Structure 1
Amino acid sequence: MKKLWIWIALLLVLIITTIVIIVHQKQSTNHHVRQTNFVNGQTPTLFLHGYGGSANSETFMVKQAEDRSVTRNVITAFVSKEGNVTLKGHFNQDAVNPIVKLELEDNKQGNLEENAKWFKSVLVKLQGEYKIKQFNFVGHSMGNLTFAQYMRTYGEDASLPQLYKQVNIAGTFNGVLNMNETVNEISVDSNGKPSRMNPPYNQLRVLKDIYKGKDIAVLNIFGDLEDGTHSDGRVSNSSSQSLKYLLGNSPKHYKESKYQGKSAQHSQLHENKEVANELIDFLWKKN
């Protein structure tokens, strides 16, 4: 009887082992199938939060990219109040579609030139560590204005990594509600030209020339609560849509995408699965 139980136990172990192997192989196959839908590049994508935000603001979007098997390579770049950059994590030399989550210690810094310098410092750090030549950008809220200032100041510096694709979410390009704009005060025409230009919008109009001829693709995402404010509750649609006029016909590809309803609220946009999926497809899906 004892031998019989031993044989039964061995048989159960064999069955369980076989099931584990089959499940593992199936998961590996599914991962491979999903991965073939995306490019297998080494261009890093940098995510930048908005005013008062942190790397946590980027967590949902990055997690969606991981869940869709776009990448398994994610690190965080911390920028101190003094502008010093520390990388948490490490990319392998053959890292596929690596992602860098940025976190600014001084996350309420209103000096755009200082913010732009900090963003440049992250790129220089990545360039030194990984020899990167180009990058993608994803920004939320004021992070987009920081990046616009970066491109204005450093966008023509050929010694730096060059922008390939950018995704703007709830961009504050021409103001913020209840700060320098009231509800439904400013409109944009079909070209994205605003009826009034708030600082530093006029200074950013040089972006059209900086982007020209560089084959940069742009996805501009914004939210409308559908409550009559034509805004996401914090940023007007006109402020976000005014990016179109700043860039003109210079990008290789420019697309606007409006989300509607409660899930299109300003801070909910970076927690919105549809938004995450759209930016993932835009950045990495094969044509």
Structure 2
Amino acid sequence: MKKFLFPLGLLFILFLVGCQGSNNTETQHSNQSNQSRNATQADEDVKASQRSDAAVEKSTKPTLFVHGYQGTVNSFRSMIQYMEEENMAEREMTVTVYPDGSLDTQGELTGERTNPIVQIIFEDNINNEWNQTEWIKNVLSFLEDSYQLDQVNLVGHSMGGVSSYRYMGTYGQEEALPEVEKFIGLGAPFNGFINTSDHQSLDDLLENGPDNLSERYQDFEELTPQVSQDTTLLLIAGQLSESDFSDGTVPLTSALAVYSLLKANEFEVDYSIVNGQDAQHSMLHENNQVNKQIAQFLWE
């Protein structure tokens, strides 16, 4: 009986040792595999960061974002978040403008090459474009006095684009203010809400301008020659469908209305039409296609 139990016990012990060795080997392989995956992921993260860094040119020049009618701090939140996550830019300052023209600032410009973003918020967000023009001037004056800036970029959505354009035409030649190097009008009604698409082709609009002019556009005819000739411009318009030549609010022909005017005054200007339901007016600054176009125009 003892002769039978001894080999059986020995076999059992050897079996346990074998299992333990196997488990240890599997654990080692698992740990090595996890370490390999972690190292690969780290390499991919570094490469992604390097790709983002390489894709944009970093500078200390601020880009000012101006919201539209009834806009708030949330208006450009998604776009700015995208640019920060992609390591393209960094929001460094938010400036709230009160109805009397006074300013409240949060954050500060660091002077580092981050492609800094300054978000402008109008407390009275339903005021007219003439007052907003003066408020934009106040912000630019503050930035000049505080940081001695030579140049900025301007991005304006809807009414913010109209007010920014009026600012450039009113104050674009003043040497005491920073020069606007690049301007983007995003879904901005440069010809009011007049839609000429039912009788005017896009080619004709781009060549000759709208054939029905709003008072705003007539103002811009006089103001455009006063925009700094060194400013480069991009007009982005939304088109919901093949039969709806608008973003649901601003007609395509209005968002692109000043293109021919700028060309006639020998400005460097381009345009883009964003199509589909994501081109709806309030979604234009939530649209990744638009995000990429704006980033490419500003920093690549």
Q: Tell me the CA shift for residue 38 of structure 1.
A: 1.2
Secondary structure at the aligned position of 2:131 is classed as helix
State the distance in 2 between where 1:256 and 1:170 align: 11
Secondary structure at 1:160 match in 2: coil
Give the equivalent residue in structure 2 for 1:5.
none
**In structure 1, C-alpha distance between the alignment counterparts of 2:87 and 2:249, rounded to whole Å:** 33
Distance 1:275 1:100, change over 3 A: same
CA-CA distance at 1:31 after TM superposition: 2.0
Residues in 2 aligned to 1:248 and 1:132: alpha-carbon distance in whole angstroms:
28
Task: Give the count of matched residue pairs.
Answer: 268
**Do 2:196 and 2:211's aligned partners in 1 also have CA atoms closer than 8 Å?**
no
CA–CA separation in structure 1 for the residues paired with 2:221 and 2:118: 28
Q: CA RMSD in A?
A: 2.7
- Picking from 124, 137, 151, the partner of 2:168 is 151
**Structure 2: segments with no counterpart, 5+ residues:** 1-31
Counterpart for residue 199 of structure 1 = 215
Identity %: 29
Give me the whole-angstrom Cα distance separating, in 2, the residues matched to 1:235 and 1:26.
Answer: 42
Separation in structure 2 between the aligned mates of residue 104 and residue 220 of structure 1, nearest angstrom: 23
Rounded to whole Å, the distance in 1 between the matches of 2:60 and 2:94 is 17
Structure 1 residue matching 2:141: 3-state secondary structure: helix
The CA deviation at 1:25 is: 7.3
Of the candidates 201, 206, 209, which is equivalent to residue 225 of structure 2?
209
* 1:105-254 alignment runs, 5 A limit: 105-110=123-128, 112-176=129-193, 181=194, 184=197, 187=200, 189-211=205-227, 214-226=229-241, 228-250=243-265, 252-254=267-269
Which residue is 2:6 aligned to? Answer: none
Structure 2 counterpart SS, 1:200? helix
Separation in 2, partners of 1:102, 1:128: 17
Q: Which structure has the larger Rg?
A: 2
| Structure with more of its chain in helix, by fraction | 2
Q: What TM-score comes out, normalization by structure 2 length? A: 0.80
Q: What SS does the corresponding residue of 1:36 show, helix, strand or coil?
A: helix
8 A Cα contact 1:174 1:201, kept in partner? yes
The one-letter code sitting in structure 1 at the alignment partner of 2:134 is K
Partner of 1:98: 116
**Which one of 86, 94, 106 corresponds to residue 104 of structure 2?**
86
Amino acid at match of 1:70: M
1:29, distance to aligned residue in structure 2 (A):
5.2
The offset of 1:32, in angstroms, is: 3.3
Q: Are the counterparts in 2 of residues 208 and 248 from structure 1 also a CA contact under 8 Å?
A: no
Instruction: Report the residue type matching 1:255 in the other structure.
Output: D
TM superposition score normalised by structure 1:
0.84
Residue 77 of structure 2: which of 39, 51, 59 is its match?
Answer: 59
* Cα displacement string for residues 221-274 of structure 1 (whole angstroms, at most 9, x for unaligned residues): 101111623111111111111111331244653111111111111111111100
Cα offset, 1:114, TM superposition: 1.1
Instruction: Specify every segment of 5 or more residues in structure 1 that has no aligned partner in the other structure, as ranges.
Output: 1-14
Q: CA deviation at 1:207?
A: 3.7
- SS of the residue aligned with 2:207? coil
